[in-house]
Amino acid sequence: MEKLRILVVDDESRMRKLVKDFLLKYNYDVIEAEDGSQALDLFYKDKEIALIILDVMMPKMNGWQVCKEIREQSQVPIIMLTAKAEERDELQGFQLGIDEYITKPFSPKILVARVEAVLKRSRQSVEDGILALGGIVLNKSAHVVLIDEESIDLSYKEFELLTYFMENAGIALSREKILNHVWNYDYFGDARTIDTHVKKLRSKMGKKGDVIKTIWGMGYKFECE
């Protein structure tokens, strides 16, 4: 099986080595850039890059600028890796189209898990648009959900919510993250909006509604056998 290539962009050589060493252990091909300008040069030169891990604070061109330019050309998955932990920075990243946001310091194992999850979601989105987990089949293009081969009627937001849960199966999702991804970044709603939609979604899913687990004090997780 061909190795997936990941571009690691960080002006700190020790950070690049830490990330690279862990990714190599998990059989990824890794290339490096020490600043934003070099990152863009590699991005335009190498068409086999499957994912980019991108630092924010860098010389010549920062991560926001790099992300904005890449998003004008490509939907390649981007994980922002940064010491900036403020909410507005995280929201700015998602508004620019990043796929994940990890703050320093971090666990390399968690980083690898996020890389694998983002790549999995990316592969799913370019395949046939069908998600199938635990007897639940969701067809994104046809906007149809089958549970044990029986169709259920969902509203647009309920369908988007279930899609997001299934694309992130096994991952704990905060209410804020769900709100950002399903209700878009310009939506200034209350987290109770999510709870209300989850309650309705579970009800329509019948016994299968149990696959949406509540994580008290945080949010939800889609988990099935």
Residues 141/191, Cβ–Cβ less than 8 Å: no
Predicted local confidence at residue 115, as pLDDT: 92
Predicted local confidence at residue 182, as pLDDT: 85
- Identical fold between 5-125 and 128-222: no
pLDDT of residue 187 exceeding 60, the answer is no
- Give the pLDDT band of residue 193 (cuts 50, 70, 90): confident
For 112, phi then psi, to 5°, come to -65, -40
Length of the chain (residues): 225
Predicted local confidence at residue 7, as pLDDT: 97
Residues 129/140, Cβ–Cβ less than 8 Å: yes
Extents of the domains making up the chain:
5-125, 128-222
The mean pLDDT of 101-120, rounded to a whole number, is 87
Contacts of 126 (CB under 8 A, 6+ apart): none
The mean pLDDT of 172-196, rounded to a whole number, is 77
Please, what sign has the CA dihedral across residues 161, 163, 164, 168? positive
Residue type, 83: A
More confident residue, 157 or 199: 199
- Token pair for residue 42? 């590699």
Residue 19: Cβ-neighbour burial (10 angstroms; 0-12, 13-18, 19+)? buried
- Give the pLDDT band of residue 27 (cuts 50, 70, 90): very high
pLDDT of residue 52 exceeding 70, the answer is yes
Predicted local confidence at residue 204, as pLDDT: 95
Predicted local confidence at residue 210, as pLDDT: 94
CATH assignment of 128-222, among 3.90.180.10, 3.40.190.10, 1.10.10.10, 1.10.3720.10: 1.10.10.10
Residues 42/34, Cβ–Cβ less than 8 Å: no
pLDDT of residue 47 exceeding 90, the answer is no
pLDDT tens, 147-158?
988 999 998 889
- Predicted TM-score (pTM) of the model is 0.57
Residues 131/137, Cβ–Cβ less than 8 Å: yes
CATH assignment of 5-125, among 3.40.50.2300, 1.10.10.10, 2.130.10.10, 3.40.309.10: 3.40.50.2300
The conformation of residue 3, written as its DSSP 8-state character, comes to P
- Token pair for residue 90? 């995280």
Predicted local confidence at residue 189, as pLDDT: 60
Contacts of 212 (CB under 8 A, 6+ apart): 165, 198, 201, 202, 205, 220, 221, 222
Beta strands at 29-33 and 78-82: parallel, antiparallel or unpaired: unpaired
Radius of gyration of the chain (CA): 19
More confident residue, 174 or 127: 174
pLDDT of residue 161 exceeding 90, the answer is yes
Q: Token pair 């990714």 is at which residue?
A: 23
- Give the pLDDT band of residue 125 (cuts 50, 70, 90): low
Beta strands at 136-139 and 144-147: parallel, antiparallel or unpaired: antiparallel
Residues 182/164, Cβ–Cβ less than 8 Å: yes
